[in-house]
Amino acid sequence: MAKKRDGVFVWITWLSKVMAGEQACEWASWFKAHFEAYKKVPSDFDSAKWKIEHTRKLRDLRLERLKNGDCVFMESENQIRYAAASGVCVVGKPDLIGVGDTGPIIYDVKTGQPRSSNEIQVLLYMHLLPLTVPAYRGTKPKGCVVYNDSRVNIPHEAVDEGFVRNFEYFLEVIGSANPAMKVPSRSECQYCDIAKSECPERVEGDST
């Protein structure tokens, strides 16, 4: 059975899907933020293939930015840990940050289809990086989502007061002591790794 965490821990990737409305079952992210060592459903996702493709695209991007003259920082070098006033810890690792003459640009590589949550994920990085990493204090990072055949550039102005308010609102939804909204359905549950022993309402098989 799941073990309650010492504190509340939210990955930016979880939060971005809730903010985009791509995960209607907010409870799944709430549960993972509050509990660890939970029983998981076996996955048939080919993670090895995804990792290889992601690694190759990220390597190509690194070489591109170095050729452009940027100072390049990768994954673990870009660790974000934001402590909200409520005590909730928000964590993320941008794939790559390139720092050039116009300031930092945060890049995130995606091998799947374009999704709104991908852009929101980068927006969250853009908002939190200057608040958490001393080297970027006072900067206004731009963002870029890198897909297989296209890129989405995000200006720093996109991190406006409205976006920050929405970030704080949805962080409270996931970080609250009160369980978030649970929406069990075939479409929601098929991509969720939380086992039925942890979530009795989980829909499996041909149920709708």
Closest CA to 142 of 102, 88, 200, 87: 102
Could you give all domains of the chain from N- to C-terminal order, each with its CATH number? Answer: 3-189 (3.90.320.10)
Q: What is the mean pLDDT of residues 29-33?
A: 98
* Burial letters 61-74, b for 16+ CB under 10 A, else e: bbeebeeeebebbe
Q: What is the mean pLDDT of residues 70-76?
A: 95
What is the tens place of the pLDDT at every residue in 34-48?
999 999 998 777 888
Q: Are 20 and 118 in contact (CB under 8 A)?
A: no
Which pLDDT score is estimated for 206? Answer: 60
Q: What is the mean pLDDT of residues 154-163?
A: 98
Q: Give the pTM.
A: 0.95
Reported residue count of the chain is: 208
Q: Where are the beta strands (DSSP E) in 115-176?
A: 142-146, 151-154
SS3 sequence of 6-20: CCCEEEHHHHHHHHH
